[in-house]
C-alpha cells in the first residue's frame, strides 16, 4: 500500500480535484489517500467557531452559508452523476453544524473548535471519493474519526498508537478487494467518541499515522512546489531542490520552520523506515524530494529558513536574582501551560531571552503571566534567520547591513534574530 496526501491547495476547486484523480489513475498500486479540507475551508470554519463562541448569530449563519455555497458550487461544476446522495449528505452535515448554535456551549472551547473545524476534511473527502467513483476508480471512503484514536487534548490530540494501529488494520482487513481508500487528514476521535483535531496543518501527520499503522511501502505528499527546496522562493532567488535528505535533516528543517512538511510527520515514518516523497501535483512526473534513512549521497547544501513576524522577549527576575534552574523551571512552566511555543531561547545571568510568533501571543497577557516575580521587555517586528550547513561567507553575505539582536551557532546550524 502506498499512502498519498493531498493538501488544501491540491483540492482547491473542481478542476484541481480532477487533476488529483488523474494522478491517482496513473498508479497501479493499492492506495490510501488522505485529503485536507478544500482551499481555505479550515480558516472559514475557524471563523464559524469564533462567531459561535461570541454568540454572533448573523455572522455565524453567513459564514456557514459561505462554506456551504462553496462546496455546493464545486459539486455543481463537477456535474457528477448520482451526486444527489452526496448533496443530501452535505445538507445533513450543514444541518448539524447549524444546530450547534442552539446547543449549550461546552466549557471546553477546544472541544467546540474540533467538532466544527473537523468538518472541512469530511466534506472534501466525500467529494473526492465521489469524483473518483464517477471516473471509475472504486474508492472506499473511510472515517478517520473512527480510525485515529487520540486523548482528549482538543485542538492537538495525542495519538494512541496501539489503538489506532489496531483500528486501521482491522478496518482495511474488511476490504481485501479494494484498491483505493479515501480518508481525512487532521482529525481523530477520543475513547468517548468525540472528534478531535491534530493541530493546524496536521494532515501530513495523519498520512504518516496511516502509513505507520499499515506499514506502507511509502508516503507521497503532493504539493504546489517541486519538492523540498533549500529556501523559500518568496525570499530567495536561485533556490535548489533537495533531492534526497535524511529523516534527521528533514526533522531539523521542519523544526526550524521550513513549512513544506508538518514537523510531526517524519518520526512515525522513520520508526518504520518508510520513505517520504514530496512531489508536485502540477508536474507529477518530476522527481521531487525523497526523505529516507541517511545515504552516502545526501546533499548537505546550505538551507535557509526565514521566520518573519517574531517577538523577542527578555524575561528577568524583579529582585535581581539569577536566571538559574529554579527560575527557568518556572518560566518554562508558564510557557508550557499556556501553550506558547518557543522558537529560540538563550539566557545570561539575569535574562532569559526567547522568540515567539507575534500572531500567537497577546503580549499584555504574557506580561501578566510572569508577574509578580518577573518582568518582560520585548522587541516587536523582528525575524529569525536559520542557516543549515553554513559557511562564513554565506553568513557575511546575508548579514550585510542587518542588525543582529541575538545569535546562536552550532556545528551545523547558525541562527540570527534580526531587526526588520
Which residues form the interface with ligand ASP (CB under 6 A)?
7-8, 36-37, 42, 120, 185-186, 200-203
Is residue 227 within the footprint of Mg ion (CB under 5 A)?
A: no
Please check whether residue 279 is in contact with residue 207, taking contact to mean a CB–CB distance below 8 angstroms: no
**Can you tell me the distance from the alpha carbon of 416 to that of 343, in angstroms, rounded to the nearest whole number?**
12
Give the binding range for Mg ion (CB under 5 A) out of 29-37, 83-91, 98-106, 316-324.
29-37
Instruction: Return the residue of 3, 5, 6, 36 that touches Mg ion, per CB under 5 A.
Output: 36
Cβ neighbours of 162 (radius 10 Å)? 10
All three cell numbers of 282, joined, read: 502540477
Q: In whole angstroms, how far apart are CA 82 and each of 94, 133, 264?
A: 20, 10, 38
Residue at grid coordinates 521566520: 307
Is residue 10 within the footprint of Mg ion (CB under 5 A)?
A: no
C-beta closer to ligand ASP: residue 208 or 323: 208
Q: Which of the listed partners (Mg ion, ligand ASP, none) does 200 bind, with a CB threshold of 5 to 8 Å by partner kind?
A: ligand ASP
Min separation Cβ 197 and ligand ASP, Å = 8
Q: Which of the listed partners (Mg ion, ligand ASP, none) does 263 bind, with a CB threshold of 5 to 8 Å by partner kind?
A: none
C-beta closer to ligand ASP: residue 133 or 157: 157
Of 376, 371, 375, the closest CA to residue 356 belongs to: 376
**Can you tell me the distance from the alpha carbon of 38 to that of 345, in angstroms, rounded to the nearest whole number?**
36
Min separation Cβ 65 and ligand ASP, Å = 20
Please check whether residue 329 is in contact with residue 283, taking contact to mean a CB–CB distance below 8 angstroms: no
C-beta closer to Mg ion: residue 111 or 205: 205
Min separation Cβ 74 and ligand ASP, Å = 16
Please check whether residue 257 is in contact with residue 305, taking contact to mean a CB–CB distance below 8 angstroms: yes
Q: Which of the listed partners (Mg ion, ligand ASP, none) does 202 bind, with a CB threshold of 5 to 8 Å by partner kind?
A: ligand ASP
Please check whether residue 405 is in contact with residue 418, taking contact to mean a CB–CB distance below 8 angstroms: yes
Min separation Cβ 185 and ligand ASP, Å = 5
Instruction: Return the residue of 4, 8, 64, 288 that touches Mg ion, per CB under 5 A.
Output: 8
Residue nearest to ligand ASP (CB): 203
Give the binding range for Mg ion (CB under 5 A) out of 30-38, 86-94, 249-257, 346-354.
30-38
Min separation Cβ 102 and ligand ASP, Å = 26
C-beta closer to ligand ASP: residue 38 or 214: 38
Min separation Cβ 81 and Mg ion, Å = 30
HSE, side-chain direction, 13 A CA sphere, residue 1: 25
Please check whether residue 232 is in contact with residue 306, taking contact to mean a CB–CB distance below 8 angstroms: yes
Min separation Cβ 230 and ligand ASP, Å = 23
Of 157, 166, 168, 213, the closest CA to residue 190 belongs to: 157
Q: What is the DSSP string of 249-308?
A: HHHHHHHHT--SS-GGGHHHHHHTT-EEEEEESSSTTS--EEEES--TT-----EEEEEE
C-beta closer to ligand ASP: residue 158 or 420: 158
Given the rule CB under 5 A, which residues bind Mg ion? 7-8, 36
Amino acid at each position: 500500500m502506498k499512502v498519498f496526501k493531498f493538501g488544501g491547495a491540491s483540492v482547491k476547486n473542481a478542476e484541481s480535484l480532477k487533476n488529483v484523480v488523474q494522478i491517482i489513475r496513473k498508479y497501479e498500486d493499492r492506495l490510501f489517500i488522505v485529503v485536507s479540507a478544500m482551499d481555505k475551508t479550515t480558516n472559514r470554519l475557524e471563523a464559524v467557531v469564533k462567531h459561535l463562541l461570541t454568540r454572533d448569530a448573523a455572522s455565524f449563519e453567513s459564514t456557514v452559508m459561505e462554506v456551504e455555497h462553496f462546496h455546493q458550487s464545486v459539486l455543481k461544476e463537477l456535474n457528477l452523476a448520482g451526486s444527489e446522495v452526496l448533496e443530501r449528505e452535505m445538507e445533513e452535515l450543514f444541518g448539524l453544524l447549524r444546530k450547534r448554535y442552539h446547543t449549550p456551549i461546552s466549557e471546553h472551547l477546544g472541544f467546540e473548535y474540533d467538532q466544527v473545524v473537523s468538518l472541512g476534511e469530511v466534506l472534501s473527502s466525500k467529494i473526492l471519493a465521489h469524483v473518483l467513483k464517477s471516473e471509475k476508480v472504486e474508492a472506499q471512503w473511510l472515517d478517520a474519526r473512527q480510525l485515529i484514536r487520540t486523548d482528549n487534548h482538543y485542538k492537538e490530540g495525542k495519538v494512541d498508537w496501539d489503538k489506532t494501529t489496531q483500528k486501521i488494520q482491522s478496518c482495511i482487513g474488511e476490504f481485501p478487494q479494494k484498491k483505493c481508500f479515501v480518508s481525512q487528514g487532521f482529525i481523530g476521535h477520543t475513547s468517548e467518541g468525540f472528534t478531535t483535531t491534530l493541530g493546524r496543518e496536521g494532515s501530513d501527520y495523519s498520512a504518516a499515522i496511516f502509513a505507520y499503522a499499515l506499514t506502507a511501502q511509502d508516503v507521497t505528499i503532493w504539493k504546489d512546489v517541486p519538492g523540498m527546496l533549500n529556501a523559500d522562493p518568496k525570499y530567495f532567488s536561485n533556490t535548489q531542490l533537495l533531492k534526497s535528505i535524511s529523516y534527521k535533516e528533514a526533522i531539523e528543517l521542519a523544526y526550524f520552520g521550513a513549512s513544506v512538511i508538518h514537523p510531526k510527520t517524519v518520526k512515525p515514518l522513520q520508526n518504520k523506515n518508510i520513505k517520504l516523497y514530496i512531489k508536485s501535483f502540477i508536474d507529477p512526473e518530476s522527481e521531487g524530494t525523497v526523505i529516507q534513512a541517511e545515504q552516502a549521497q545526501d546533499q548537505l547544501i546550505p538551507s535557509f529558513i526565514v521566520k518573519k513576524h517574531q517577538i523577542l522577549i527578555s524575561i528577568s527576575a524583579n529582585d535581581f536574582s539569577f536566571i538559574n534552574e529554579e527560575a527557568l523551571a518556572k518560566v518554562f512552566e508558564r510557557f508550557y501551560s499556556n501553550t506558547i511555543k518557543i522558537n529560540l531561547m538563550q539566557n545570561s545571568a539575569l535574562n532569559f531571552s526567547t522568540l515567539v510568533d507575534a500572531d500567537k501571543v497577546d503580549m499584555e497577557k504574557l506580561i501578566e503571566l510572569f508577574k509578580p516575580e518577573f518582568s518582560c521587555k520585548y522587541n516587536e517586528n523582528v525575524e529569525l534567520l536559520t542557516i543549515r550547513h553554513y559557511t562564513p561567507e554565506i553568513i557575511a553575505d546575508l548579514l550585510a547591513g542587518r542588525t543582529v539582536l541575538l545569535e546562536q551557532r552550532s556545528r551545523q546550524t547558525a541562527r540570527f534574530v534580526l531587526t526588520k
